Structure 1
Amino acid sequence: MLRNLFLTIVAIASLLATPVASEKIEVDLELALLVDVSRSMTERELEIQRQGYAAALMSDEVFAAVQSGPLQRVALTYVEWAGTQDVIVDWMLLETRADLNEFAGVLTTRFDPALRRTSISEALIFGARMIEENKFEGLRKVIDVSGDGPNNQGRPVLQAREAVLSKSITINGLPLMTREGMGSQWHLDDLDFYYQNCVTGGPGSFVIPVLDWQGFKEAVRRKLVLEIGSAPAIGEAMKAQYIAPSDYDCLIGEKIWERNQQIWSEP
């Protein structure tokens, strides 16, 4: 009897002394930035993206957006993706200008260009997993995906999108509608509508098209302010509305890839 009581007391004391593993740091926003580095991107374009995000993070507007939330802190990660994913900056807690500058500094010191296919779908699944497994608990959870072409590898993008949205994660898009990369065989004239209809979704989701690289820095700054400050999307931002797959071919990227493969295999 006394022995059982003693063992019970020891067990309770052990539980009380053990930190609760499930405790997470509360933040206004968990934001995963997923940035395209597939073979259709030139090294110059990859560098423009890094510099654009770094400049935006160090801007007064983005810092003000961080300060505008009830907790005045956000969790951010930066991932480059193509057929696979590479975490360039793992989750960081951003509260001060120094935090934002540190994050931006990493972006401008590590640079590894890649030549791979385009899997938006697997990038979305990867981003959702990173949000689920990190040490933060956000009042809002957002994946921001940028890219210059449609999905052409991995599971269908609609399947991935629905899986992410089912976890109460919003998806925003930054379609890069430029023509500097590998040529017209990969170009999709209505990439903004592809992102709007096939990629993005969730409460307050939006798409901001980038028509030329001169406007990239401003587009990124504005996008981050909208996401971090949770302001309503206006101007160039297109409200992302779900449209039935029958109204837009969300497998267009896979079909373009197959068409080009056939062309290249012809004698």
Structure 2
Amino acid sequence: MQPVDLALCLAVDVSASVDFSEFGLMVGGLAAAFREPDIAAACAAGPKGGVAVAVLFWSSGAEVAVPWMRIDGEAAAGALAEAIDNAPRLPQPGATALGPGMVAALALLAACPAEALRLVLDVSGDGAHNQGRAPGPVRDVGVNAGVTINGLAVLNEEAGLLAHYEAEVIGGPGAFAMSCADYADFSQAIRRKLLREIRGGALVA
């Protein structure tokens, strides 16, 4: 894969708190975002002309839902959207193992086949960590490896989740956390988040 401006791993919560309808809204919203012309244009706007994107679903385990793809315009972004739409819900619903999910996502980032100017892990979910390795130390490992970790907290289950993400999940240069009220609002929230991540500080006009 040719060098990219950004390697972006999208780590998505598919634990038991995410029901069938919510999963559909979340995955559909993520796919819809990559069908937006401004997202595709942002992917191609940097000096390397593209970004690498992979999607990881996590619960009590983690599975790569969409392997690394280079997004350099509307055709590639549309292909990514199709792959997201068609990704099976694996692993099975279980606990909210946020720390182990982040470990798997960081490993996926480390295995990106393209040289990247920036590394970003995008974590989204609707619950606080409740199984396995704590996310804070995992976050620190990622930050020390040069990864920026951002979060999108869906507040339909836990009103205080944004604070948990701010304290335990996000880190690195320019890291930020956002929230949305529920999965119906996820599509617009993830679109705003992706634009901010893809453009980055150096790419914002």
TM-score tier (shorter):
over 0.9
**Aligned to 1:70, which of 33, 47, 59?**
47
Q: 1:144 to 1:62 in 2, by over 3 A?
A: same
- State the partner residue of 2:130: 152
SS in 1 for 2:115: strand
- State the partner residue of 1:119: 97
CA contact (8 A) 2:98 2:134 kept: no
CA contact (8 A) 1:225 1:231 kept: no
| Correspondence 1:104 to 2:91 | no
In structure 2, stretches of 5+ residues that fail to align are none
**Aligned to 2:59, which of 82, 97, 102?**
82
Distance in 2 of aligned mates of 1:35 and 1:76: 13
Q: Which amino acid aligns with 1:154?
A: G
**Aligned to 1:205, which of 175, 195, 200?**
175
Structure with more relative contact order (C-alpha pairs < 8 Å, separation 6 or more): 2
Distance in 2 of aligned mates of 1:41 and 1:121: 18
CA contact (8 A) 1:27 1:73 kept: yes
| Correspondence 1:219 to 2:189 | yes
In structure 1, stretches of 5+ residues that fail to align are 1-23, 180-187, 233-267
- State the partner residue of 1:230: 200
CA contact (8 A) 2:56 2:62 kept: yes
Structure with greater strand share of residues: 2
- State the partner residue of 1:43: 20
Distance in 2 of aligned mates of 1:136 and 1:146: 24
- State the 1:65 CA deviation: 1.1
Distance in 1 of aligned mates of 2:148 and 2:136: 14
| Correspondence 1:190 to 2:168 | no
CA deviations on 1:125-145 (whole Å, 9 max, x unpaired) are 111111112211110000000
- State the partner residue of 2:113: 135
- State the partner residue of 2:147: 169
SS in 1 for 2:133: coil
Deviates more, 1:156-165 or 1:113-122: 113-122
- State the 1:108 CA deviation: 1.5
CA deviations on 1:70-111 (whole Å, 9 max, x unpaired) are 112000001110011111100011112111101110122233
Distance in 2 of aligned mates of 1:135 and 1:107: 19
Distance in 1 of aligned mates of 2:18 and 2:110: 29
TM-score by length of 2: 0.93
Q: Which amino acid aligns with 1:142?
A: V
Distance in 2 of aligned mates of 1:78 and 1:125: 14
RMSD: 1.5
SS in 1 for 2:83: helix
- State the 1:48 CA deviation: 0.5
Q: Which amino acid aligns with 2:200?
A: S
Percentage of pairs with the same residue: 33
Larger Rg belongs to: 1
TM-score by length of 1: 0.72
CA contact (8 A) 2:40 2:71 kept: no
CA contact (8 A) 2:57 2:89 kept: no
Moved over 4 A (4+): none
Deviates more, 1:47-56 or 1:63-72: 63-72
